[in-house]
Amino acid sequence: MPTFKMKHINPEGLFKSKAFSQAITVTGKAKTIYIGGQNAINSKGELIGVGDLELQTKQALHNIKTILATENASFANLVKLNIYLVSGSDPLIGYKAFQEMAGSLDNPPLVTVLFVSEFASRPSCLLEIDGIAVIEDKD
């Protein structure tokens, strides 16, 4: 039995979305995973999907999935995602890619989407995603 609880809160009077939760509390003995900004760079340092937001989103999510797996976590353990998109990008393309990669989550994470003009490290990148996840702390 887990020694922590992640409670997704969608209060009456606020919009209830299948894409995000309004608030999440975490109590008990939990380990926090902070995920640094992930873009569409693969393990060889190559940018995947130049000019293609769907392919870039899938690569960034693949990177996040890889990070989560190193801690025996999954997309279900996500508490918060910050998504940065180049201005003019369609967030629905990214949402569709997230559903394909993560599946339909009963309790989706908190999500913030921001538009930016470009990314300093790689101007060809169309997005960057960072996040926070929690798992049971077994130590």
Tens of pLDDT, residue by residue over 44-81, are 999 999 999 999 999 999 999 999 999 999 999 999 99
Tens of pLDDT, residue by residue over 112-125, are 999 999 998 788 99
Q: What is the mean pLDDT of the chain?
A: 94
What pTM value is reported for the model? 0.92
The DSSP bridge partners found for residue 38 are: 129
Query: In this structure, are residues 48 and 41 in contact, taking their beta carbons and an 8 Å threshold?
Result: yes
Q: How many CB atoms within 10 Å of residue 74?
A: 15
Tens of pLDDT, residue by residue over 31-48, are 999 999 999 999 999 999
d(CA 93, CA 81): 16
